[in-house]
Structure 1
Amino acid sequence: MPSPVEIPYRSFISFDRNSNTSVYLQISNAFISAIRRNILSPNTKLLGTRALSNLLGTHRNTIVSVYDELASQGWIDIKPNQGAFISPTMPQTADGSLLDITYANQTGFTFRKSALLDSPYERGNFQYSFNDGIPDVRLTQLDDLARIYSATLKRKSNRRKMDYHNQDGSPYFKEQLQGYLSLSRGLQISAANMLITRSVEMSLFIIAEVLLDPGDIVIVGALSYFSANMIFQKNGASIRTIPVDEEGIDVEALADICQKQKIRMVYVTPQQHYPTTVTLNVQRRMRLLQLAQEYHFAIVEDDHDYDFHYEKQPMLPLATLDTNGMVIYVGSFGKSLVPGFRTGFIVAPENIMLEMRKLLGIIDRQGDVLIEQALGEMIEEGVIHRHLKKSLKIYRERRDQMTRIIQQQFGEHMKITKPPGGLACWLEFKTPVNLLQLGKDAAKEQLFIPRNILYQNGQLTAIRLGFGHLTNEEMEDSFTILKMLMERQIKN
């Protein structure tokens, strides 16, 4: 039972001394409304009449009249030498129904609804699950995270940073991230070229708000990242697709479109194309930059899973080759850590960065200086490098394990593309299978297969299947279920 002193009476009691309705009835009605909305729950003790009259600035006799009125209607019980309490039973109307109010299930006004933003992440409680490629949080070095974050929180020098005046990201974190991006990606940039966001999706949202007008044409791969497409379309853009093969997006198909239509933006994931995991080759990268300069469209480069590579040093980003300001580079930092320690960033020329900072200042005014400070220290101390080195060894083993299972147990039904990096494989079916039905059947066997990893049309049946979050045992068990369900569906 809450203390009567803690009840926020002023938040639900107001009255007008000039009203034709007496003050005590106005207060009584306010109490009744609060009880019916469960702001005051049954058996809650109320303030004494003297204390409440002092709080509300009324005469004590007014509150006495209020309590008498509430008691006569059955809303409160007055117990001698104990006080006034909300009645455990609600009063009833003449027909015996309760005088009760529950929160409305629907609005009383109209609003726009968007099917574009329907989430594909319909997650339930399952023993096993597939996804499109996420890290395993169980591999995170939680001791390091806890030590650095706790020290950051306690450090007095950081307290002056905890205000609303640092909307452009922590200078210390930007300095460390600048060095990290220079060493890992060859990006020779300054702090003025960087914007710190909460995620890649927030970065794309900001870019879309700054660059896109309704009707603008955005080019993406025929298979592309669904969240990016949703963001661009929500902003009124018209999405056009170009083919994707083993060498990445077809830039000559892009050239054909450019000759016929005005293109505003091309969205690419050149390092690990989403969802097929292929890498855009050097010749196509150079041709893409040439087309951007010739036709004056922006390239938004999403460095999806850049930190996760297993065979050799990955190609440097398109942004490192761009000398004409055509590329906006988007990425995430700390993806191998627990979700709360991840952040996003944008790298772009200074003039457009000024507009992006304005928008960020509206949608994320305070930022997260503590997380940014901790991440900066993790870079400076080498924690990020050590953690990635350990986790990459495990992720490579899991990639190889998934490849072996698919080739050995599903070879006649599937073809797997073994990626050089990232956290997911691309599986194409040789045998006709109904993927949506497969997902429904899997759910009955405690295996969750989300809709966003399924790709099926008249020409293609495929799955983008993440391996990063699965141990070898979980992988074996999950594929045992999948194989059983596939064979059952094929026989029928």
Structure 2
Amino acid sequence: MLPFKSLIVLDKSAEMAVFLQLAGQIRQLISEGLLPTGQKLPGTRQLAELLRLHRKTVIAAYDELLAEGWLEARAGSGTFVAGHLPVVLPKPIEKAADSQKGRGEPGFQFVRKPHLARPLLLMNDGLRLDDGFPDIRIAPMDELARAYRSYFRWGNPQQHFGYGDPKGNRLLREELSVFLNETRALRTTPDNILVVRGSIMGIHLASTLLLEPGQTAVVGETNWSGANMNFLQTGADLLTVAVDGHGLDVEALAELCRHRPVRLVYVTPHHHYPTTVTMPPDRRLRLLQLSQQYGFVILEDDYDYEFHYLRRPILPLASADPHNMVIYVGSLSKSVAPAFRIGYVVAPETVIDELARLRRIIDRQGDTMLEFAVGQLFRNGDLRRHLKKAHLTYEARCQHFCSLLKEELPDVVQFAKPEGGLAVWARFDRQFDLNQLAGKARREGLTFADGLAHNPPGQWLNSTRLGFASSTETELEQSVAVLRKLTRG
């Protein structure tokens, strides 16, 4: 007889019923070949005594396995492992405690891709100078709650709670079309818009559609790692060109195009990530000319267009694209709150149709209720009012934070006041190792990124993004005070 008492370990305090635990462990012994096909099991009374259980518990476990086909009862002979099961060669018997080890590792091999190892950004408690997040405390939560409630009161329940259009809620696409046409001079209809779960989903879908293994994608030497990961995931060759005080060096891109075919160029021209600089009009026009000349697609990521402070925002590349070579990606996550996983892709209708087909195989549709609610916020003006309020708030915080850095840390941090966005690109004096400084700051209750993710291969920028929008002016003063304390020497 197998050592059932050693092989079966039951937890009577667990939420799962004991008879189900017993059935599951007998099933596992059969699967591992320790109970072979045709093996007779102990009688219910005998097993109950071995395991110190009530006999009815064992009977219930046997009945469960009989119903599932793992066991078979033979009249007058007892209960046996079913004869129709395949033969499994048994492994060496392990003690129950040892058999629980290694649950974190699979029994099969798979390839771990280094480009997916990207640090996870979380909004921690305490002081923070984050990557450039909005302040969720000023988000229109009450208005959103009212819009959610209206979803349950309005329209056909079958339509509301059934499957919807993979392109996104029609109301939201209609309102986004009006909003983008008015604020960005785009020429869209709802059929030119795909609603996605944040801009990164739009980038993933676009790169999946456009890039094949071995084709060339080009990004700036400093760039958002989330975009880079998606391009590498397609198997494309990812090349970089220089970035200066005016964004992507388009003449360096032109030189690259003269030597090899380029399929896609990814840019964040309004506020280059991570340096926040704005690409001037002459470079924008040259980039569009190069796209037409060499036939590459421009993937324009306009992640925080709403927040530009020094003058009117420069219109997107997509607004001046006569040849439909630009795919435009944006997001409401930076405008309202990161938990609002709503982004959008703007492209010619045939491209949107194909992106929607791709979207269906990973995500049948978006969050219909959230999309409807945000569409309502657009329609009744609540979201536009919020964006206006947020713009004024973040502009004031930008001014205050830059003044603090200039006054309190003049010999520690070098920066150019950003024309817009939600963060300052800060270069620290090299006597202060950012990695060590970030660690010391965390122990003082202040969180900010160590900047390692922004370093191009072989370079040490000792720079990082210091987000100001998610902190009040008082919190910004406290954060700078921590930095001043740690760098005073």
TM-score normalised to structure 2 length: 0.80
C-alpha spacing 1:39/1:161, structure 2 compared with 1 (3 Å): farther
Partner of 1:314: 313
Partner of 1:217: 216
Measure how far apart 1:291 and its partner are. 0.4
Give the 5 Å matches for 1:61-72: 68-72=45-49
Partner of 2:277: 278
The answer on whether the counterparts of 1:297 and 1:326 sit within 8 Å (CA) in structure 2 is yes
Give the 5 Å matches for 1:65-214: 68-74=45-51, 76-77=53-54, 101=100, 104-121=103-120, 127-214=126-213
Cα deviations across residues 281-322 of structure 1 (Å, max 9, x unaligned)? 111100000000000000000002001122322011100111
- Identity level (%): 36
Partner of 1:396: 395
Tell me the distance in 1 between the aligned counterparts of 2:188 and 2:121: 40
Tell me the distance in 1 between the aligned counterparts of 2:485 and 2:385: 40
C-alpha spacing 1:151/1:124, structure 2 compared with 1 (3 Å): closer
Q: Aligned with 1:150: secondary structure?
A: helix
Tell me the distance in 2 between the aligned counterparts of 1:454 and 1:407: 25
Give the 5 Å matches for 1:476-491: 476-488=477-489
Range with bigger deviation, 100-109 or 140-149: 100-109
Partner of 1:435: 434
Cα deviations across residues 233-276 of structure 1 (Å, max 9, x unaligned)? 12112222112222221111111111111111110001111011
C-alpha spacing 1:75/1:419, structure 2 compared with 1 (3 Å): farther
The answer on whether the counterparts of 1:454 and 1:462 sit within 8 Å (CA) in structure 2 is no
C-alpha spacing 1:319/1:129, structure 2 compared with 1 (3 Å): same
Give the 5 Å matches for 1:408-419: 408-419=407-418
Measure how far apart 1:75 and its partner are. 5.4
Q: Aligned with 1:363: secondary structure?
A: coil
Partner of 1:229: 228
Query: Structure 1 residue 378 and structure 2 residue 355: aligned?
Result: no
Tell me the distance in 1 between the aligned counterparts of 2:157 and 2:102: 42
Give the 5 Å matches for 1:456-467: 456=455, 458=459, 460-467=461-468
C-alpha spacing 1:334/1:454, structure 2 compared with 1 (3 Å): closer
Cα deviations across residues 81-106 of structure 1 (Å, max 9, x unaligned)? xx999xxxxxxxx9997698578221
Tell me the distance in 2 between the aligned counterparts of 1:260 and 1:74: 75
TM-score normalised to structure 1 length: 0.80
Whichever residue aligns with residue 72 of structure 1, its letter is E
Partner of 2:24: none
Tell me the distance in 1 between the aligned counterparts of 2:322 and 2:94: 79
In the alignment of these two chains, the number of paired residues is: 432
Query: Structure 1 residue 369 and structure 2 residue 364: aligned?
Result: no
Whichever residue aligns with residue 76 of structure 1, its letter is L
Cα deviations across residues 296-352 of structure 1 (Å, max 9, x unaligned)? 000000002001122322011100111111100011125332333340111111232
Whichever residue aligns with residue 306 of structure 2, its letter is D
Q: Aligned with 1:339: secondary structure?
A: coil
The answer on whether the counterparts of 1:243 and 1:249 sit within 8 Å (CA) in structure 2 is yes
Give the 5 Å matches for 1:437-456: 437-451=436-450, 455-456=454-455
C-alpha spacing 1:381/1:110, structure 2 compared with 1 (3 Å): same
Measure how far apart 1:144 and its partner are. 0.9
Measure how far apart 1:452 and its partner are. 5.0
Range with bigger deviation, 356-365 or 439-448: 439-448
Q: Aligned with 1:341: secondary structure?
A: coil
The answer on whether the counterparts of 2:248 and 2:279 sit within 8 Å (CA) in structure 1 is yes
Measure how far apart 1:162 and its partner are. 2.2
Range with bigger deviation, 165-174 or 151-160: 151-160
Range with bigger deviation, 346-355 or 363-372: 346-355
Unpaired runs of at least 5, structure 2 = 21-41, 62-92
Measure how far apart 1:427 and its partner are. 1.3
Give the 5 Å matches for 1:289-304: 289-304=288-303
Partner of 1:41: 14
C-alpha spacing 1:333/1:444, structure 2 compared with 1 (3 Å): closer
Measure how far apart 1:78 and its partner are. 5.6
Whichever residue aligns with residue 467 of structure 1, its letter is F
Cα deviations across residues 50-79 of structure 1 (Å, max 9, x unaligned)? xxxxxxxxxxxxxxx975354222152369
The answer on whether the counterparts of 1:414 and 1:431 sit within 8 Å (CA) in structure 2 is no
